[in-house]
Amino acid sequence: MYPDSISSADIVAAFTGKLPEGRVLAGNLAGIDYSHDEAYAVTPQAPVAVILPRSTAEVSTAMKVAGELGCPVTPRGSGTGLAGGCIPAPGGVVMSMEKMSSILEVDTENNVAVVQPGVTLSELDEMTSSYGLAYPVVIGEKGASLGGTVATNAGGMQAVKYGVTRNHVLGLEVVLGSGEVIRTGGKVFKRSSGYDLTQLFTGSEGTLGIVTEAIVRLVPRMRYRSTLLVPFNDLTEAAGIVPLITSSGVAPLVLEYIDALSMDAITKDAGLELGVEDSVKARCSAYLVIVLEGNREALVDQDMEDISGMVAGSGALDVYVLPPTADTKLLEARDKAHWMAKANGADDIVDVVVPRSMMSKFMEAVSAISEQFSSLVVGCGHAGDGNVHLSIFQPDERVRHDVVRALLRTGIGLGGDVSAEHGIGKAKREDFLDLTGTVEIDLMRRIKSALDPKGILSPGNVV
């Protein structure tokens, strides 16, 4: 990428020379932790150095140094990504945003928060709760950073009601590859002023600029919630009822599916007994978990009754209203599904999205693909969004590649896409490039080179 004459020591010296003390880690300090994220199949890569900026000005200075050297820079939040996006390019540096971790403002009149990128979702949740507000992007990994979630356009369980990250990002401060600092958007919900750069950077996975501040929209925190657990004979039946629920006029906060194998594993691990009779368990191969919320208990109860009646009349084996502690524990256990699958030997995870009306068809195709390639494919997902997370158990890399390809092709064929929320990064780059139109990819590449002409931001990610 950059001239052979420049050694690692020269690179470290160039950054150290321009930044305050303590901002550059090199050698062992820049090792293991910064060489990977949580992706399954991306080879870790140690960076030449890790830059730990404490201000936007320092990010800008570091980008100017990188530009002069032609040195690749890969931003990193908490390293919880599932697409290998924060893994540095060979010979490049990691720009870790962990020290830029202040919540600068919670504005209760405009219902927005102004945050630095290193703030984690759990920190923002704790802070906003003291104001009776919430940042409704709630993903399975609460240690993820705001910068990382903006860069991947993270979704999570509550997207069915509140939408994904891009629906909540109102403005950004971004450092470009050149070191220039720009601000987009603001504390306003309506804008019609030229191209929407805020949305362009959201989901760009560190390839167009480094997010150094974000203005995000908050919502009032609701006081009451209620959770239904609904077992079904088969997954296609469970998926088939989702559009009925979402168009019923009741807006569920969470609408997840969990297949019986995954449910068994996560409840056993959490020591959780949900009260489902053995006779029902024996016939059940998938569950829906439906969470309702509101500010009036009676209204939540009414919604719960309406949804219970609807699912009971549509093939559900039974309907269970979970007691308050069990519902929290079940959602926590669901968050751990990823780790359970990994611990049980899963070889990859696929994050595919289809229109929710196509979920049943997609799940039928998943069974057929699983059989065709003699591979175990199980999972859970954000059913309300048509977003399926499938764990693939297939140690043979070549066969696994074919399984993933078949799943993605089927999803696209049904009107879906290669990734709903984990992003492309390095893990899904080949699939993304092969399965997306050449004109679209070419346009993305032209956007990339307009914003980062030297190609130093996160090379190897996305396009």
Ligand X SMILES: Cc1cc2nc3c(=O)[nH]c(=O)nc-3n(C[C@H](O)[C@H](O)[C@H](O)COP(=O)(O)OP(=O)(O)OC[C@H]3O[C@@H](n4cnc5c(N)ncnc54)[C@H](O)[C@@H]3O)c2cc1C
Q: Which is nearer to ligand X, 85 or 92 (CB)?
A: 85
How many CB atoms within 10 Å of residue 398? 8
* Whole-number Cα distances in Å, 61 to 15, 89, 383: 9, 20, 44
- Residue with smallest beta-carbon separation from ligand X: 148
For the CB of residue 132, give the shortest distance to ligand X in the complex, in Å. 24
User: Any contact of residue 140 with ligand X (CB under 6 A)?
Assistant: yes
User: Any contact of residue 460 with ligand X (CB under 6 A)?
Assistant: no
Q: CA 292 to CA 309: how far, in whole Å?
A: 14
Q: Are 40 and 428 in contact (CB under 8 A)?
A: no
User: Any contact of residue 384 with ligand X (CB under 6 A)?
Assistant: no
Range in contact with ligand X (rule: CB under 6 A) among 42-50, 137-145, 270-278, 395-403 = 137-145
> Which of residues 61, 152, 227, 267 is near ligand X by CB under 6 A?
152
Length of the chain, please? 463
Contacts with ligand X: how many residues (CB under 6 A)? 39
Range in contact with ligand X (rule: CB under 6 A) among 133-141, 184-192, 251-259, 289-297 = 133-141
Report how far Cα 91 is from the mean position of its chain's Cα atoms. 27
Task: Tell me which residues in 166-225 interact with ligand X (CB under 6 A).
Answer: 205-206, 210-211
CA neighbor of 280 nearest in space, from 312, 304, 309, 310: 312
For the CB of residue 138, give the shortest distance to ligand X in the complex, in Å. 8
User: Any contact of residue 459 with ligand X (CB under 6 A)?
Assistant: no
Question: According to the 3-state scheme, what is the secondary structure of 85-154?
Answer: CCCCCCCCEEEECCCCCCEEEEECCCCEEEECCCCEHHHHHHHHHCCCEECCCCCCCCCCEHHHHHHHCC
For strand 210-217 and strand 112-115, is the pairing parallel, antiparallel, or unpaired?
antiparallel
User: Any contact of residue 421 with ligand X (CB under 6 A)?
Assistant: yes
Range in contact with ligand X (rule: CB under 6 A) among 102-110, 138-146, 244-252, 363-371 = 138-146
> Per-residue x/- mask for ligand X, residues 327 to 356, rule CB under 6 A?
-----------xx-----------------
Q: Which is nearer to ligand X, 142 or 225 (CB)?
A: 142
Q: Which is nearer to ligand X, 327 or 351 (CB)?
A: 351
Range in contact with ligand X (rule: CB under 6 A) among 185-193, 324-332, 418-426, 438-446 = 418-426
CA neighbor of 208 nearest in space, from 434, 418, 15, 444: 444
Task: Tell me which residues in 54-113 interact with ligand X (CB under 6 A).
Answer: 74-82, 85-86, 97
For strand 320-322 and strand 387-393, is the pairing parallel, antiparallel, or unpaired?
unpaired
> Which of residues 72, 117, 459, 460 is near ligand X by CB under 6 A?
117
Q: Which is nearer to ligand X, 96 or 236 (CB)?
A: 96
For the CB of residue 271, give the shortest distance to ligand X in the complex, in Å. 19
Query: Rounded to 5 degrees, what are φ and ψ at 308?
Result: -60, -45
User: Any contact of residue 145 with ligand X (CB under 6 A)?
Assistant: yes
CA neighbor of 363 nearest in space, from 374, 348, 352: 352
Q: Which is nearer to ligand X, 147 or 294 (CB)?
A: 147
Q: Are 451 and 176 in contact (CB under 8 A)?
A: yes
User: Any contact of residue 37 with ligand X (CB under 6 A)?
Assistant: yes
Q: CA 148 to CA 153: how far, in whole Å?
A: 8
Using CB atoms within 10 A of its CB, is residue 271 exposed (0-12), middle (13-18) or buried (19+)? exposed
Q: Are 97 and 58 in contact (CB under 8 A)?
A: no
Query: Helix, strand, or coil here: 384?
Result: helix
Q: CA 72 to CA 70: how far, in whole Å?
A: 7
> Which of residues 151, 253, 284, 363 is near ligand X by CB under 6 A?
151
For the CB of residue 126, give the shortest distance to ligand X in the complex, in Å. 17
For the CB of residue 147, give the shortest distance to ligand X in the complex, in Å. 3
Task: Tell me which residues in 270-329 interact with ligand X (CB under 6 A).
Answer: none
Site residues (CB under 6 A) for ligand X? Answer: 37-38, 74-82, 85-86, 97, 117, 139-141, 144-145, 147-149, 151-152, 154-156, 205-206, 210-211, 338-339, 421-422, 425, 458, 461
